[in-house]
Amino acid sequence: MALVGGGPALLVHGGAGRVETSGWDDRVAGVVRARDAAWALLEQGATALEAVLEAVRRLEDDPLFNAGTGAALNRDGFAELDAAVMDGEDLGFGAVAAVRDVKNPVLLAAEVLRSEHVLLVGEGASRFARDRGIPACDPGELVTERQRRRWSLARRRALEERSGTVGAVALDAAGRLAAATSTGGMVDQRVGRVGDTPLPGAGTYAEARLGAVSATGHGEYFARALAAYRAASALRNATPERAVRTALETVARLGGAGGLILVDAQGRLAWHHTTPEMSVAWRTQVDVGAQIAPGA
C-alpha cells in the first residue's frame, strides 16, 4: 500500500508474520501508541532520528512485540536482542546484536551511532552500554510467559503463530530521514544467530534524497537480498510502492518472506508484505491510520 506524502511523515510496523486474529486489536493498538508518541515529538520539532527511536523504544517496552521485553527466546531459552538505527543525513549507522542484558537495545544502537563504531555484539555491546550509562537489566526481565510458551511449542515443532521485528521510518519538517529496527530474532534460533536487522542495507537503511526503510521477516533472506537498500535504491526510478514490492520480490526469489515499510524524501509512505499479516500505523500532515491486514 502507498500514501501520498508532503511534509513530515511517520510509518511504524509491529512485525510481519502470522498472528491469531484474536490478537489483532491489541497489536494495532500497540503500533498506534508508538506512532502517536513519535508523532508528538515531530510536532514539537524533533528530528526524524529522535522520532524513530521513540517509536521503536515504545514497541520494545510492549510485551506483545518481538523486541526488548517479550522478545523471542533462542534455543537455550533466553532473549538475544538486535537493533539498528540509521540517519539518512550522513549515512550514520549504529547497531548492536546478540545483546542479553539491555532493556532497550535501540537506545544502545543510538549510542553506537554516536561513537566511532558501526556494530557491537554480545558482551562487548553490554560493556559499551555500561560505559554509556545504560544500566544492565536481568535477562529474565525480558522473558514473558507468552514467549516461554511459544518457545516450548517451537521446540515441539507445534508453533503456528509467527511475528517478527519492529521498526519505524520518518521524515521530519527539515526533510531529514531516519530508520530504526529492533528484534528478538526467531523463536528457538541458535545461540548467537544474527539476522538482517543490525546489518546496514539489509534490515535497516536511510539515505538523504531517497528514503528510509525498515524490514521484518526471515532475516537470512533479507540480508542476502540487501532488501532495505534495494528498496531505497529503487526509488531513483520507481514509486515507493513499486520500490518495496521490488525488494520483496527479490527476497521471495531467494525463498524468504516478510515485509517492508518505506518513507521517501517527499514524505510518501509505502508498505507491503508477503506474510499472512503485518501491523502498521502511519501519520502524515493529511492522513492518519493503522491496520493489520492479510498479505498479498
Spatial distance between the Cα atoms of 167 and 113, rounded to a whole number of angstroms: 17
Q: Determine which one of 165, 216, 246, 284 is catalytic.
A: 165
Are residues 137 and 103 in contact, defined by beta-carbon separation less than 8 angstroms? yes
Grid cell listed for 273: 508484505
**Bridge partner residues of 87 (DSSP):** 92, 178
Amino acid at 148: R
3-state SS track over 175-228:
CCEEEEEEECCCCCCCCCCCCCCCCECCCEEEECCCEEEEEEECHHHHHHHCHH
Does the annotation count 165 as an active-site position?
yes
Grid cell listed for 236: 531513483
- The residues annotated with a catalytic role in the active site are 165
